Amino acid sequence: MAKNNLSIFDIPQDKRKKSLLENEYLNLPDLSFYNRCKQQFHINKGVYNTIDNWFYEYGIIHVVYRRIYILAFLGFVKENSPELDSHKFIRFGHGGLTMKLKEFTSAYFRYKENGYTDIFSIK
């Protein structure tokens, strides 16, 4: 059976940048990409838009890179929330999404003198 989950970690690091920019899933129209995220991670459109906007405001302007971080964040939430199977959608509660986004960015970004750099080194 074919694997339908989206993950940047399935692509060898030396081929990530070029192959990610050309990846068919990362280049889907916005609604199609959201629908795949909804199917895999059980998020609603408001949560998706908030996550997308968070990374845009964080400085990740290129849509393909932002989608990589969206997938990484949703994977991070899914791995750290064993109770998710009991709910239709991921539930964060009041302020919970922002708290998880801050937790994710502090875990996956390092501060350097000239700004932030990511641990995926995709830039």
pLDDT in tens, 94-115: 888 999 999 998 887 765 444 4
Is pTM beyond 0.75? Reply is no
d(CA 76, CA 80): 6
- Considering only CA atoms, which of 64, 58, 49, 68 is closest in space to residue 109? 58
* Beta-ladder partners of 116: 111
Radius of gyration of the chain from its Cα atoms, rounded to whole angstroms: 14
d(CA 118, CA 123): 8
What is the per-residue pLDDT across 25-50, written as a single tens digit (0 to 9) for each?
899 999 999 999 999 888 999 999 99
| SS3 of residue 1 by DSSP | coil
Report yes or no: 73 and 104 within 8 Å, Cβ to Cβ: yes
